[in-house]
């Protein structure tokens, strides 16, 4: 199994630009989570999907952030316009309803907004 | 609201020591508790998962216990090695398996030769 795949691994952009992060969950997993990690705040859940439907987006910081899951094998997290305070590592994770709930993480996308 | 706390925040020990990492949670209505390892610049790797009906799980030199009544979990690492150096995070779900994990802030472990 390839695991959870995220792209890009690193992104450097200028303030005001649009950023799109991508995630491919483990095949057969039907829950997908987007987390953000910073030194100050640790790991924060932004949004999670179950069977492609957003269940809880209360962690999305503001309207500049949006996430979609058009099908079971792909999700995007978009920031428009980006700001320097959005600089962080963004993780995608997936799990299966039929399992124990064990969560599997991708390697993360490190975002730097100048 | 579930809150997860980990103590200590950092730990430095000589190789060979047995050590215990602590995790506390405020809401005992959890579905499962997971322990993760994170190496610098990397993602999180799942180490052990304890379901609410279980009291402990073991994998090699690692043993994790769960006491829901006291709101505590511990991760025991036997015969620590320099390769164990990493940040260890615990996380709890609420009442069902696909619910969101609430993470602690982690314990940064350094094992020196």
pLDDT single digits (tens) A31-79: 999 999 998 888 989 999 999 999 989 889 889 999 999 999 999 999 9
Instruction: Give B-chain residues touching A51 at CB under 8 angstroms.
Output: none
Q: In angstroms, rounded to a whole number, what is the distance separating the alpha carbons of residues A61 and B68?
A: 32
Res B94: pLDDT: 74
Question: Tens of pLDDT along A81-97?
Answer: 999 999 999 999 999 87
Q: B83: helix, coil or strand?
A: helix
* Residue closest to B98 by CA, chosen among A91, A48, A10: A48
**Does position B98 have pLDDT exceeding 60, yes or no?**
no
Q: Which of B42, B91, B98 sits opposite A31 (nearest CB)?
A: B98
Q: In angstroms, rounded to a whole number, what is the distance separating the alpha carbons of residues B41 and A89?
A: 9
Res B12: pLDDT: 96
Maximal C-alpha separation, chain A: 42
Both tokens assigned to B83:
């390769």
Res B31: pLDDT: 81
Q: DSSP string of A10-69?
A: EEEE-TT--EEEEEEPPTT--EEEEEEEETTTEEEEEEEEETTEEEE-TT--STTEEEEE
Whether A18 contacts chain B with CB within 8 A: no
Mark yes or no for CB contact B101/A42 under 8 Å. no
* Residue closest to B33 by CA, chosen among B50, B58, B57, B48: B50
Instruction: Give A-chain residues touching B48 at CB under 8 angstroms.
Output: none
Whether A100 contacts chain B with CB within 8 A: yes
B96: confidence class by pLDDT, cuts 50, 70, 90: low
Mark yes or no for CB contact A45/B89 under 8 Å. no
Residue A95 CB neighbour total at 10 angstroms: 26
Question: Tens of pLDDT along B35-82?
Answer: 999 998 888 999 999 988 899 999 999 999 999 999 999 999 999 999
């Amino acid at each position: 199994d390839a695991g959870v795949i995220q792209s890009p691994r690193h992104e450097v952009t200028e303030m005001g630009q649009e950023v799109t992060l991508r995630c491919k969950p483990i095949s057969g997993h039907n829950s997908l989570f987007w987390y953000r990690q910073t030194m100050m705040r640790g790991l924060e859940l932004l949004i999670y999907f179950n069977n492609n439907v957003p269940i809880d987006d209360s962690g999305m910081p503001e309207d500049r952030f949006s996430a979609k899951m058009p099908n079971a094998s792909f999700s995007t997290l978009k920031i428009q316009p980006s700001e320097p305070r959005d600089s962080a590592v963004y993780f995608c994770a997936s799990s299966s309803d039929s399992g124990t709930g064990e969560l599997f993480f991708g390697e993360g996308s490190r975002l730097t907004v100048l | 609201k579930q809150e997860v706390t980990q103590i200590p925040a950092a730990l430095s020990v000589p190789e060979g020591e047995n050590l215990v990492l602590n995790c506390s949670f405020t809401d005992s209505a959890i579905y499962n508790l997971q322990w993760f390892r994170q190496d610098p610049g990397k993602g999180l790797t799942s180490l052990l998962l304890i379901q609410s009906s279980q009291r402990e799980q073991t994998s090699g030199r690692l043993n994790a216990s769960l006491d829901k009544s006291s709101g505590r979990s511990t991760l025991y690492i036997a015969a620590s090695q320099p390769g164990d150096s990493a940040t260890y995070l615990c996380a709890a779900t609420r009442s069902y398996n696909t619910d969101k994990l609430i993470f602690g802030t982690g314990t940064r472990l350094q094992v020196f030769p």
